[in-house]
A = this chain, B = another copy of it.
């Protein structure tokens, strides 16, 4: 039987027809980790430019700018998403790897607190992907960001989550 306090099957941010922040007062504090990913389909030409291992090539600046923008966006999540709680962040790690005709961006965020860091990981992956887009858009306006999704979430009462592989 599903417990009555389950938050799984309702619009938790809507109350009496109005948008609303969830009250996390009764939650217990604990270690929480979330991982999100995004893919950016850049096309073969840009990818070739990025894969070049020349010291003066663009891969360093493009990837590093994306990592820094993503990290700073993780810290801004509660400013961007109206009903996210501000929280202390303990770790934030980005990995960007070439894949197919684009790159895959992975953002892992961790904290110790009363609420999870799903939105922080999703926001970080999203802004890192937008930054890759920005730095490559002069070469190809058809770049597409896709498969932005939660990969895993651990910690917290609602249970761990691991996405199906794809």
The chain A residues found within 8 Å of chain B, CB to CB, are 7-14, 16-25, 31, 38, 49, 53, 55-58, 60-65, 67-69, 71-73, 75-76, 78-94, 110, 112-114, 118-119, 122-123, 126-127, 129-131, 133-139, 141-150, 153, 158, 161, 163-164
Contact = CB atoms under 8 A, between A and B. Distances in A.
Contacts of A22: 91
Nearest to A91: B23
Copies in the complex: 6
3 residue pairs, one from A and one from B, having the closest CB atoms: A23-B91, A145-B148, A19-B61
Nearest to A63: B18
27 contacts: A7-B138, A8-B139, A11-B138, A12-B138, A13-B61, A13-B62, A13-B135, A14-B62, A14-B135, A16-B56, A18-B94, A60-B64, A61-B64, A65-B68, A71-B82, A72-B79, A72-B80, A75-B86, A76-B76, A84-B134, A88-B113, A126-B127, A129-B148, A141-B163, A142-B164, A144-B147, A146-B147
